[in-house]
Structure 1
Amino acid sequence: MTDSPALRSAHELTASFAEGTLSPVEATQDALASIERYDNAVNAMLFTDADGALAQARASESRWRAGAPLSRSDGVPVTIKDMFLTRGWPTVRGSTLIDPAGPWDEDAPAVARLRESGAVLLGKNTTPEFAWKGVTDSKSHGVTGNPWGADLTSGGSSGGAATAVGLGMGTWSIGTDGGGSVRIPASFTGTTALKPTFGRMPMYPPSPYGTLSHGGPVARSVHDAALLMDIICGPDSRDWAAMPPPVGSYADALDGDATARLAGLRIALSPTLGYGHNDPEIEAAVRAAAQVFADAGAVVEEVDPGISDCVDAFHVLWFTGASKVVSAYGPQALDGIDPLLARSIREYGSEASASDYLDAMAVRMDLGVTMGAFHESYDVLLTPTMPIAAFPAGQDAPTGWPSDLWTSWTPYTYPFNMTQQPALSVPCGLTGDRRPIGLQLVGARHAEALLLQVGDAFQRLTDWHTATPTLITD
């Protein structure tokens, strides 16, 4: 990566703020310059509030000069996926059905915690309509591209967030993940993203996708993701399902010799989960990543967890939620949304019965039991995040793919929304034509601290997360 402040880590930025060698204003100006430089090509930002961001940055600069920052992350520039309520900014969720006039008088929990920390809010990221699919395009805001090629998809549904982070349009972003929505774009854009255990990051209002939907950090490194977790996992009484705040700091737990923690760690490598198929370059990169852990002293075994593809049950849960979202806008709403979403709701959601829903929940519970038993033998499960690399932007699926539904090409992400387990995606390679490859690390429920430690160790032993995207080097 270049030495631009926009591409420095959160820790590097705040260390410079404390030393007085860089100010939050300069960091914010550089992030805004990156938006100005790249966003016409990639369309990652729904809108940018430059004046508001600079005012926040000046306030942060004053606090650092007075030796009284609000937090150790005060002044770090951040963008927000347009699924999170933001006070004073519209939240239209990628849809023309929502009136941007508002009123917008409330922050989502994570946004509120970011404001309290002194982070500088730059603007909102693009998302597909109601965050329903694994690529980022919408009738309202167009197509979002990729830092490694504006003509490549960013993935989704947090594609705007990942592309913004990858190009230095802010150090961090926060995204949602109901079936892979932070991990898919992390894999495609060479960024890092964590889906924590359900309830770890408070969410409000409740997602119509129910307990499938998580929120989590998008960053350029595991360490930055851990710093952001320390902020966004703060308590909020509006989420009745939220877990108690974590004890201690995720970021502090990464101090010391992280690689030493790998010695004796029990790691299962499952390149296909027993049912998937990968492009050869993907599988080779994931196997090479597993070898990094083995060389560092982990006990790595190739073993499948003994699950089958839960896609049919996932479709019932996902599209009944989508049907409920759209029905709130009246009987004609299906005619005004993404045509593939409308078709999928009709096929999987609107006709599902209560019995169908309960059957899907039974599949989900059985899957959770199987994975719980699996993690009694293995600390971490490794899979590809995605079986493919990024394909052309503006398509719902790769060219010639047998299905245009996003779940047909994301077999390794949605199972862990069904089980609510934490899952982390980190870069682990590039294809021959320089498209990023993601490695997924899955832990037992509530084990996000362990995943962050293991992912951080991997990034200390490799440099894939520091690779500079094509749009920056060209």
Structure 2
Amino acid sequence: MAANTSTLLTASELVAAYSTGELSPVEATRAALRAIEEHDGDYNAYCLVDAESALGQAKVSEARWRDGHPVGWLDGVPTSIKDMFLTQGWPTLRGSKCIDPDQPWEVDSPVTARLRENGLVLLGKTTTPELGWKGVTDNPLTGITRNPWDPALTAGGSSGGSAAAVAAGMGELSVGTDGGGSVRIPASFCGIVGFKPTYGRIPLYPASPFGALAHAGPMARSVDDVALLLDVLALPDVRDPGAMPPSVGTFREAVRRDVRGLNAAFSPRLGYVDVDPEVAQIVAALVAALADAGLHIEETDPGFADPKDAFDVLWSTGAAKWLDTFPDGSAERIDPGLREVWEQGLTYSAADYLAANAERAALGILMGEFHTRHDVLITPTMPIAPFEAGVDVPPGSGMRSWPEWTRFSYPFNMTQQPAISVPAGFTSAGLPVGLQIVGPRHSDDLVLAVAKLVEEIQPWPTDRPAAPRG
């Protein structure tokens, strides 16, 4: 795909160009908007674009840079936000026909507020499956979101719009949500970096019906950019009583920590996941390179069984709680798969929920003990490469639900640990594969630093996906 030079830069490189006057926020924003206009018809990453507002923000940022007073490390960087975050002046429809767009939209979520306060340019909102309920991105309202590396394939989900936007140069940064892998799945499928930090690191409002599974996470094309964006997103907000206190130091500094010599566990299957042989080979080769670079790597499994049954209880009861607030008649208008989850959630009792939550807590304790021996855990992010767009499970797989093909991701929502997906390489068909790094709770800085080492020993492509075929 032909792209303006500024859309080939990372956010960090853009800001460096702003500081020298080589580029301006207005030029970068125009380039991002042009990329959206030229390519989003193929990918459907955006459900809302506000060019007038974005250019207005960019002009104000340009004046700050000209006067030598940018308001933050990412001032003027074109950015998108998933349509799960409340945004003053823009509807937050969450991919649903059942949410009325014609109502006052007067509140910014903590994520949106921090982006504005730090001068980032908000381009628009990215697509999500309805209520962010599954691991691919399509919904009854805006249709199917496609992968920039091959538009016949899924971008993953539920933050698929954000991942596709970043991968295709339609904004340098985005913020997604992750309740079962929804930042890491599309990051793996689209060949970018997606980080789910420790639960509570990024304040959320309103509280998610999915409870302690729900995280927000930065998405970008480099680890440095993710660290910079996390510094912005992790600032406190009084509306989230469960949010963590501000971190000591900054993530933009911590990402450069020397991690050579640390102990890493490599679990190719977590003990129970069926992994595509080509994906397994790509990840294993990168892990071997990490060992050569100085990580002490032991191949071992954490020692837990697949917690899918408990996850299903937690996930479906959260969905049922949310959908019970929808208007009468909504069951006939929502995604049929989401309706099944709603109905499933209504079958569980309070005792079922408490038992699932107890299993979640026990899993967290097990992983806490595991990390007394291993600083980080490394796995594939996804056991498969991207598959056909518009379906919930890989065709011909015999699977019925999205957690069946995302078994590396949702356990670490249950444990509330930080987990990042970074590019590991490409299949023979040219499709991205991701590597996942998981750390103990509150070790966001460590996870980012190990991810930075991956980036250093295996630089990722600087070009964009090819133009859509056919």
Answering whether residue 280 of structure 2 is matched by residue 283 of structure 1, we say yes
Query: What is the aligned partner in structure 1 of residue 17 from structure 2?
Result: 16
Answering whether residue 152 of structure 2 is matched by residue 167 of structure 1, we say no
Compute the displacement of 1:387 (Å): 0.3
- Work out whether residues 254 and 446 of structure 2, in 8 Å CA contact, stay in contact via their aligned partners in 1: no
- The 5 Å alignment of 1:204-223 reads 204-223=205-224
- Work out whether residues 221 and 465 of structure 1, in 8 Å CA contact, stay in contact via their aligned partners in 2: no
Compute the displacement of 1:7 (Å): 2.3
Aligned amino acid, residue 73 of structure 1: L
- The 5 Å alignment of 1:85-96 reads 85-96=86-97
- Work out whether residues 327 and 333 of structure 1, in 8 Å CA contact, stay in contact via their aligned partners in 2: no
Answering whether residue 295 of structure 2 is matched by residue 294 of structure 1, we say no
Aligned amino acid, residue 424 of structure 2: C
Q: C-alpha distance in 2, partners of 1:83/1:31? A: 22
From 434, 445, 449, the equivalent of 2:430 is: 434
Q: C-alpha distance in 2, partners of 1:471/1:422? A: 34
Q: What do the CA deviations read for 1:378-435 (whole angstroms, capped 9, x no partner)? A: 0110111000010010011111122231001000000000000000000101111011
From 264, 269, 283, the equivalent of 2:266 is: 269
- The 5 Å alignment of 1:64-143 reads 64-143=65-144
User: What are the ranges of 5 or more consecutive residues in structure 2 without an aligned counterpart?
Assistant: none
Q: C-alpha distance in 2, partners of 1:177/1:120? A: 23
- Seen in structure 2, the aligned counterparts of structure 1 residues 472 and 57 have a Cα distance that, compared at 3 Å, is farther
TM-score (norm 2): 0.98
Query: What is the aligned partner in structure 2 of residue 189 from structure 1?
Result: 190
From 448, 453, 459, the equivalent of 1:452 is: 448
Compute the displacement of 1:3 (Å): 7.0
Compute the displacement of 1:102 (Å): 2.2
- Work out whether residues 136 and 157 of structure 1, in 8 Å CA contact, stay in contact via their aligned partners in 2: yes
- Work out whether residues 190 and 465 of structure 1, in 8 Å CA contact, stay in contact via their aligned partners in 2: no
Compute the displacement of 1:472 (Å): 7.7
SS of residue in 1 equivalent to 2:122: strand
Q: C-alpha distance in 1, partners of 2:452/2:468? A: 25
SS of residue in 2 equivalent to 1:150: strand
Aligned amino acid, residue 43 of structure 1: N
Compute the displacement of 1:466 (Å): 3.4
Q: C-alpha distance in 2, partners of 1:465/1:292? A: 18
- The 5 Å alignment of 1:375-414 reads 375-414=371-410
Compute the displacement of 1:468 (Å): 3.2
Aligned amino acid, residue 9 of structure 2: R
Q: What do the CA deviations read for 1:320-370 (whole angstroms, capped 9, x no partner)? A: 0101111111443222111011112223x0110011001101111111111
Compute the displacement of 1:10 (Å): 1.2
Q: What do the CA deviations read for 1:290-343 (whole angstroms, capped 9, x no partner)? A: 112100111101000001100000010000010111111144322211101111
Q: C-alpha distance in 1, partners of 2:469/2:369? A: 46
Aligned amino acid, residue 406 of structure 1: W
Moved over 6 A (4+): none
- Work out whether residues 421 and 442 of structure 1, in 8 Å CA contact, stay in contact via their aligned partners in 2: yes
Aligned amino acid, residue 446 of structure 1: H
Q: C-alpha distance in 1, partners of 2:459/2:428? A: 17
- Seen in structure 2, the aligned counterparts of structure 1 residues 469 and 184 have a Cα distance that, compared at 3 Å, is same
Answering whether residue 143 of structure 2 is matched by residue 146 of structure 1, we say no
- Work out whether residues 323 and 342 of structure 2, in 8 Å CA contact, stay in contact via their aligned partners in 1: no
Q: What do the CA deviations read for 1:94-142 (whole angstroms, capped 9, x no partner)? A: 0001011121101110110110111000000000000000000000000
- Work out whether residues 138 and 144 of structure 2, in 8 Å CA contact, stay in contact via their aligned partners in 1: yes
Query: What is the aligned partner in structure 2 of residue 42 from structure 1?
Result: 43
Query: What is the aligned partner in structure 1 of residue 314 from structure 2?
Result: 317
- The 5 Å alignment of 1:346-385 reads 346-347=343-344, 349-385=345-381
Bigger mean CA deviation after superposition, 331-340 or 30-39: 331-340
Q: C-alpha distance in 2, partners of 1:173/1:428? A: 21
Answering whether residue 24 of structure 2 is matched by residue 27 of structure 1, we say no
From 320, 324, 329, the equivalent of 2:326 is: 329
Q: C-alpha distance in 2, partners of 1:233/1:346? A: 35
Q: C-alpha distance in 1, partners of 2:192/2:84? A: 20
- Work out whether residues 8 and 464 of structure 2, in 8 Å CA contact, stay in contact via their aligned partners in 1: no
Aligned amino acid, residue 408 of structure 2: Y
Q: C-alpha distance in 1, partners of 2:73/2:254? A: 15
Q: C-alpha distance in 2, partners of 1:166/1:369? A: 36
Aligned amino acid, residue 359 of structure 2: V
Q: C-alpha distance in 1, partners of 2:451/2:413? A: 19
Q: C-alpha distance in 1, partners of 2:336/2:61? A: 45
Bigger mean CA deviation after superposition, 358-367 or 3-12: 3-12
Aligned amino acid, residue 339 of structure 2: A
- The 5 Å alignment of 1:186-265 reads 186-255=187-256, 261-265=258-262
Aligned amino acid, residue 229 of structure 1: L
Query: What is the aligned partner in structure 2 of residue 415 from structure 1?
Result: 411
User: What are the ranges of 5 or more consecutive residues in structure 1 without an aligned counterpart?
Assistant: none
- Seen in structure 2, the aligned counterparts of structure 1 residues 92 and 218 have a Cα distance that, compared at 3 Å, is same
Query: What is the aligned partner in structure 2 of residue 443 from structure 1?
Result: 439
Q: What do the CA deviations read for 1:49-73 (whole angstroms, capped 9, x no partner)? A: 0000000000000110011111121
SS of residue in 1 equivalent to 2:290: helix
Compute the displacement of 1:254 (Å): 3.0
Compute the displacement of 1:469 (Å): 1.5
- Work out whether residues 47 and 125 of structure 2, in 8 Å CA contact, stay in contact via their aligned partners in 1: yes
Aligned amino acid, residue 332 of structure 2: D
- Work out whether residues 191 and 465 of structure 1, in 8 Å CA contact, stay in contact via their aligned partners in 2: no
- Work out whether residues 255 and 445 of structure 2, in 8 Å CA contact, stay in contact via their aligned partners in 1: no
- Work out whether residues 254 and 456 of structure 1, in 8 Å CA contact, stay in contact via their aligned partners in 2: yes
- Work out whether residues 200 and 243 of structure 1, in 8 Å CA contact, stay in contact via their aligned partners in 2: yes
Compute the displacement of 1:4 (Å): 1.7
